[in-house]
């Protein structure tokens, strides 16, 4: 039986890779690296750089091309088909490069448990057992970069997506929203009155860019900055915190 280690690696900073993750990478029989096209080649390069820093012995590495998700109205159907295709590629890559491998490692941005579908994809392969090694999430990196608490005193936090914010607005009763997986500008769909935002792109990485202020004042600045950074790098990872009723 093959064990698939899903290893959280933080946000691209090798210092975010835990000792547990380093031990697992060095003990693996095979490490998988996804490629997402030339425009996102930096993502594969970052994984290679992490391995160059943490591996103390040679471990075979196999790269694979991530299938493209279909652009269709049935979002959930398209995602499920995409996950099926990725699982098949994983199985084929392992069978080609290291048949019979006991331990296969896959590095995951942030943590595999938070708005990441790697665990769902792994569940499609019944011949695998899965072990998760947690990592620093982009949400932790964001609050650390801005030096702010995630929640206000004794209050809950809602973690949501850009799609949910854009389609359904501010969740009823929520004070603080952590917004992930925003293709850009979902915060423009809400009333900015009394809302503060802490935005970050490439948090924890050398390219880290941070903006904070009232949403009404910095919304356009964030949109322009995001567009510029995406054009410069060919990809962008950003996340933000929205809060009503003050900064703390």
| Averaged pLDDT, 1-23 | 89
Q: Name the nearest CA neighbour of 6 among 98, 93, 128, 88.
A: 128
pLDDT in tens, 40-71: 566 788 889 899 999 998 999 999 999 888 77
Confidence class of residue 36 from pLDDT cuts 50, 70 and 90? Answer: confident
Mean pLDDT of 174-185: 93
SS3 content of the chain, % helix, strand, coil (to 5): 40, 25, 35
Rounded distance between C-alpha atoms, residue 233 and residue 90, angstroms: 27
Helix axes 41-54, 19-27, angle to 10 degrees: 90
Total residue length of the chain: 248
Residues 30, 142 contacting (CB under 8 angstroms): no
Helix (H, G, I), strand (E, B) or coil at 37: coil
At residue 87, φ and ψ (nearest 5 deg) are -60, -40
Give the pLDDT score at 40: 56
Contacts 24+ apart (CB under 8 A), 152-159: 152/176, 152/243, 152/245, 152/246, 152/248, 153/248, 159/114, 159/115
Domains of the chain (ranges; CATH) run 2-136 (3.40.1010.10), 139-244 (3.30.950.10)
User: What confidence score (pLDDT) does residue 110 get?
Assistant: 84
What pLDDT, on the 0 to 100 scale, is given for residue 11? 81
Cα 107 from Cα 180, distance rounded (Å): 19
Can you tell me whether residue 196 is helix, strand or coil?
A: strand
pLDDT tens track for 157-171: 999 999 999 999 999
What mean pLDDT is reported for the chain?
91
Residue pLDDT, tens place only, 184-194: 899 999 999 99
- Confidence at residue 247, expressed as pLDDT on a 0 to 100 scale: 57
């Amino acid at each position: 039986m093959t064990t698939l280690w899903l290893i959280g690696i933080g946000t691209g900073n090798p210092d975010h890779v835990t000792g547990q993750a380093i031990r697992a990478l060095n003990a693996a029989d095979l490490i998988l690296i996804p490629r997402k096209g030339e425009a996102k080649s930096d993502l594969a390069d970052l994984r290679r750089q992490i391995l160059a820093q943490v591996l103390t012995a040679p471990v075979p590495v196999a790269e694979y091309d991530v299938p493209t998700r279909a652009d269709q109205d049935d979002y959930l159907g398209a995602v499920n088909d995409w996950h099926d295709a990725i699982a098949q590629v994983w199985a084929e890559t392992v069978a080609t490069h290291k048949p019979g491998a006991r331990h296969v490692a896959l590095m995951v941005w942030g943590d595999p448990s938070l708005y990441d579908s790697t665990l769902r994809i792994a569940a499609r392969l019944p011949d695998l057992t899965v072990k998760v090694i947690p990592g620093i999430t982009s949400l932790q990196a964001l609050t650390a970069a801005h030096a702010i608490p995630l929640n206000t005193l004794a209050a809950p936090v809602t973690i949501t997506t850009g799609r949910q914010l854009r389609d359904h607005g501010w969740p009823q009763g929520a004070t603080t929203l952590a917004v992930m997986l925003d293709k850009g500008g979902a915060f423009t769909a809400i009333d900015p009155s009394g809302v503060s935002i802490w935005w970050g792109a490439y948090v924890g990485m050398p390219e880290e860019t941070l903006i904070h202020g009232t949403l009404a004042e910095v919304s356009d600045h964030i949109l322009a900055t995001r567009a510029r950074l995406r054009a410069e790098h060919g990809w962008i990872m950003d996340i933000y915190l929205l809060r009503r009723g003050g900064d703390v």
